[in-house]
A and B are shown apart, each in its own frame.
Chain A
Amino acid sequence: MKLRSSMAASLVGLSVSLAPAYAAVSPLDLVQPIADYKIYVQGKIDTLVKDTKAFTDAVKSGDLAKAKALYAPARVNYETIEPIAELFSDLDGAIDSRADDHEQKEKSADFYGFHRIEYALFSQNTTDGLGPLADKLNADVLDLQKRVAGLTVPPDKAVDGAAGLLEEVASSKISGEEDRYSHTDLWDFQANIDGAQKIVALVEPLVSKEDPALIKTVNDNFATVDGILAKYKTGDGFETYDKLSNADRKALAGPVTALAEDLSKLKGTLGLN
């Protein structure tokens, strides 16, 4: 190891990295990736609508075991396309807010959506009285489907969605706070990562032209995260969050934080405001 010789170079580092500008990506170059992204989002929402119906049917029929089993697979569709769903903040709050978002926590009258039902199913172990909540969740995802169909996806929101999904993972998925009653956090974790990877894949040819090193680092870190999560896959999903070893949680934190940092440059690299 030659420790001394590399030092002079490293000391300059960030503070003096003067360099040529990026060639701006033409807005036209983004038309196709964004169109493809909308198709992907709509596909996920169609599945979300179908799976949510099956889930809420189980809830309303009082089939507790089935409702528990359908909870995580129904919501992963939402988690993959969260950057778009979050454009409709009223629906996002209704569908996906957590008890923490409400002053009276689980007792709050305005706490509904997936996590409210999760609380009843997994913490209170009952489907009693969930009928109105189930109907509302169904209506809300149908509303989302309708609104997204009429949406012109803003390119900056789509591209920045990759960073947003990683910020979600870094701030709440890695701590196991998302699905605190069912402990199905790893389903959501993977869905966030999948959704971010989809966005990166769509713009990868454009980003590669500007900054090939960025794409390589990002893809390497995605692979590391996918590799660790794969250890926790079961036949139809994932182990519960408490099975995640402390060593793996730490091993995930590095690439997740690095991804959040690197993906925050995606928009700028593509010349988007």
Chain B
Amino acid sequence: MTTREKPILPKTTRRSLLIGVVAGALTPQLAAAGNTSVTDAPESDSVHQRQPFYGEHQPGIVTPRPAAGLVASFDVLAQNRAGLERLFKTLTERTGFLMQGGTPPSLDPKFPAADSGILGPVVTPDNLTITTSLGASLFDEHFGLQAQKPRRLSRMTSFSNDALREEFCHGDLLLQFCSNTPDTNIHALRDIVRNTPDSLLLRWKQEGSVPVRPPSPGKPKESARNFLGFRDGSANPDTTDAELMKQIVWVQPGADEPGWTAGGSYQAVRLIRNFVERWDRTPLQEQQSIIGRNKASGAPFGGATEADVPNYAGDPQGKTTPLDAHIRLANPRTAEAMAHRLLRRPFNYSNGVSKANQMDMGLLFIAYQADLERGFIAVQTRLSGEPLEEYIKPFGGGYFFALPGVRDETDFLGRALLEAAESSSTHS
């Protein structure tokens, strides 16, 4: 363990901290109004937006998706269950602080500072959520958690169009950061990496974003567009419908699962490169046939708005919407298909230039569901061979289980899991 908790405040700090706060409040702005510089920080009140941390479920799943996302996958280095508990408590404490915002402790400047400082001396919440999920590899003999593994959690295997690269796949633990700005996500990631030096080892990370739109009061909401230029998530279930979320997203008490999983959710993460140069050279009507929607409006063929439900029953030959169109394969709108619904929460990623001097960009796909096999795995299997595959190449990601929520100050992430493991090992 580290001695990070070791108090290193000098005697004078408490008082000088208070003085500093007061003095800061009274200091006049040096740059008078009108005296602007190109390097002035962009301003927005949205930095004060805050999401609740405590609850039955973790934040960042049915929470409306903000503009910036980041997933970071880790190997867990903890040596035993006690080390794992310490890690979970640290994650709980740091997540609670970062989502709430506030002033990090001011340490003796002879020591490294407690905070990276990239958001300034006061950490603003900026709509941040941090969601912790666990990979199948955490449930091995190392921590004696085999009996507690969520039944549908497995190591992601290749689909027919995948070209998985090990350095972008899997992990014992995944953190999903979502907030209004990439800087807030990076600040949170650095805080957590800093606070877990001996228990987490970063495997891979991927940042993403979605385009921001102006408010349009009185008009229906629109899904954000992906890097193919299409609305992404049009058929997503209504997250304000709690009963629907119980069916689609949250593992229910009494399900065919270890009891501790209730309130959690299976998470599928996929890094999917889009061949955007080739896509941009594809005729519009062909793009629309491949996806199954009108590009500008997002409406299904034969519909007028994005929210319209396509009538596949009246189009058995695929004359209106091709049978192999992406949205038709993904959700055939049959009674059977209702069992395979999932909640998409994707971001777009852009990573520089490929070896072939093409843009490396695409989709940071994230989906949540109560049953991974009936959800993502079934849907992706149905999509195998779709015409869109010419333009996309999944290369990374993994399957994880998002822990149930932290209910209050006495609770912590993973508590129910550890308690279940503890009681089963004492009783067996």
Q: Which residues of A pack against B, CB within 8 Å?
A: 1, 3-4, 6-8, 10-11, 13-22, 211, 213-214, 217, 221, 250-251, 253-255, 257-258, 260-262, 264-265, 267-269, 271-273
Looking at the complex, which one of A15, A261, A267, A268 makes contact with B105 (CB distance below 8 Å)? A15
Q: How far is the CB of B30 from chain A (nearest CB, A)?
A: 28
CB within 8 Å of A: which B81-96 residues: 81-82, 85, 89-90, 92-93, 96
Which partner residue on chain A sits nearest B10 by CB separation? A21
Q: How far is the CB of A167 from chain B (nearest CB, A)?
A: 12
Ordered by A's residue number, 19 sampled pairs between the chains whose C-beta atoms are within 8 Å are A1-B85, A1-B418, A1-B422, A3-B85, A6-B89, A8-B409, A10-B412, A14-B93, A17-B8, A213-B6, A221-B198, A250-B75, A254-B199, A258-B198, A262-B2, A262-B3, A265-B3, A265-B8, A268-B111
Q: How far is the CB of A253 from chain B (nearest CB, A)?
A: 5
Q: Indicate the size class of the contact surface on chain B.
A: 35 or more
Establish whether residues B7 and A19, one from each chain, have CB atoms under 8 Å apart when the complex forms: yes
Q: How far is the CB of B195 from chain A (nearest CB, A)?
A: 7
Looking at the complex, which one of B82, B92, B93, B112 makes contact with A265 (CB distance below 8 Å)? B112
Establish whether residues A13 and B90, one from each chain, have CB atoms under 8 Å apart when the complex forms: yes
Q: How far is the CB of B265 from chain A (nearest CB, A)?
A: 22
Instruction: Assess whether B1 is interfacial by the CB under 8 Å rule.
Output: yes
The interface residues of chain B lying within 8 Å CB-to-CB of A269 are: 8, 111
Establish whether residues B6 and A211, one from each chain, have CB atoms under 8 Å apart when the complex forms: yes
Establish whether residues B8 and A268, one from each chain, have CB atoms under 8 Å apart when the complex forms: yes
Instruction: Assess whether B387 is interfacial by the CB under 8 Å rule.
Output: no
7 extra A-B contacts, CB within 8 A, seeds A17-B7, A261-B4, A268-B110 = A4-B415, A14-B114, A14-B195, A18-B105, A258-B2, A258-B198, A261-B194
B71-86 vs A: 1/0 string, CB under 8 Å?
0000101000110010
Establish whether residues B201 and A250, one from each chain, have CB atoms under 8 Å apart when the complex forms: yes
Looking at the complex, which one of B3, B90, B422 makes contact with A213 (CB distance below 8 Å)? B3
Establish whether residues B3 and A214, one from each chain, have CB atoms under 8 Å apart when the complex forms: yes
Instruction: Assess whether B118 is interfacial by the CB under 8 Å rule.
Output: no
Given A14-B114, A268-B110, the answer on whether A217 and B411 have CB atoms closer than 8 Å is no
Q: How far is the CB of A170 from chain B (nearest CB, A)?
A: 9
Establish whether residues B108 and A217, one from each chain, have CB atoms under 8 Å apart when the complex forms: no
The interface residues of chain A lying within 8 Å CB-to-CB of B96 are: 11
The interface residues of chain B lying within 8 Å CB-to-CB of A15 are: 93, 97, 102, 104-105
The interface residues of chain B lying within 8 Å CB-to-CB of A213 are: 3, 6
The interface residues of chain B lying within 8 Å CB-to-CB of A257 are: 197-198, 201
Establish whether residues B77 and A250, one from each chain, have CB atoms under 8 Å apart when the complex forms: yes
Instruction: Assess whether B147 is interfacial by the CB under 8 Å rule.
Output: no
Looking at the complex, which one of A7, A16, A21 makes contact with B412 (CB distance below 8 Å)? A7
Establish whether residues A17 and B5, one from each chain, have CB atoms under 8 Å apart when the complex forms: yes
The interface residues of chain B lying within 8 Å CB-to-CB of A6 are: 89
Given A13-B5, A17-B9, A258-B1, the answer on whether A7 and B108 have CB atoms closer than 8 Å is no
Establish whether residues A258 and B412, one from each chain, have CB atoms under 8 Å apart when the complex forms: no
Establish whether residues A21 and B11, one from each chain, have CB atoms under 8 Å apart when the complex forms: yes
Instruction: Assess whether B419 is interfacial by the CB under 8 Å rule.
Output: yes
Looking at the complex, which one of A21, A221, A255, A261 makes contact with B9 (CB distance below 8 Å)? A21
A1 and B82 CA atoms in complex are apart in Å by 9
Instruction: Assess whether B14 is interfacial by the CB under 8 Å rule.
Output: yes
Establish whether residues A20 and B11, one from each chain, have CB atoms under 8 Å apart when the complex forms: yes
Looking at the complex, which one of B8, B75, B194 makes contact with A22 (CB distance below 8 Å)? B8
Establish whether residues A214 and B6, one from each chain, have CB atoms under 8 Å apart when the complex forms: yes
Instruction: Assess whether B410 is interfacial by the CB under 8 Å rule.
Output: yes
Establish whether residues B409 and A11, one from each chain, have CB atoms under 8 Å apart when the complex forms: yes
Looking at the complex, which one of A11, A18, A253, A264 makes contact with B112 (CB distance below 8 Å)? A264
Which partner residue on chain B sits nearest A5 by CB separation? B410
The interface residues of chain B lying within 8 Å CB-to-CB of A251 are: 77
A115 and B104 CA atoms in complex are apart in Å by 43
A14 and B419 CA atoms in complex are apart in Å by 25
Establish whether residues B6 and A261, one from each chain, have CB atoms under 8 Å apart when the complex forms: no
Q: How far is the CB of A47 from chain B (nearest CB, A)?
A: 33
Which partner residue on chain B sits nearest A4 by CB separation? B410
A11, A213, A267 — which one has the most chain B CB atoms within 10 A of its CB? A11
In order of increasing CB-CB distance, the 5 nearest A-B pairs are A19-B7, A268-B110, A268-B111, A254-B77, A258-B198
Which partner residue on chain A sits nearest B108 by CB separation? A268
Looking at the complex, which one of B4, B75, B85 makes contact with A14 (CB distance below 8 Å)? B4
Establish whether residues B112 and A19, one from each chain, have CB atoms under 8 Å apart when the complex forms: no
Which partner residue on chain B sits nearest A257 by CB separation? B197
A254 and B3 CA atoms in complex are apart in Å by 14
A271 and B75 CA atoms in complex are apart in Å by 36
CB within 8 Å of A: which B202-231 residues: none
Establish whether residues A254 and B110, one from each chain, have CB atoms under 8 Å apart when the complex forms: no
A253 and B422 CA atoms in complex are apart in Å by 28
A168 and B396 CA atoms in complex are apart in Å by 29
A254 and B96 CA atoms in complex are apart in Å by 24
A11 and B88 CA atoms in complex are apart in Å by 11
Looking at the complex, which one of B110, B197, B415 makes contact with A267 (CB distance below 8 Å)? B110
The interface residues of chain A lying within 8 Å CB-to-CB of B102 are: 15
Q: How far is the CB of A267 from chain B (nearest CB, A)?
A: 7
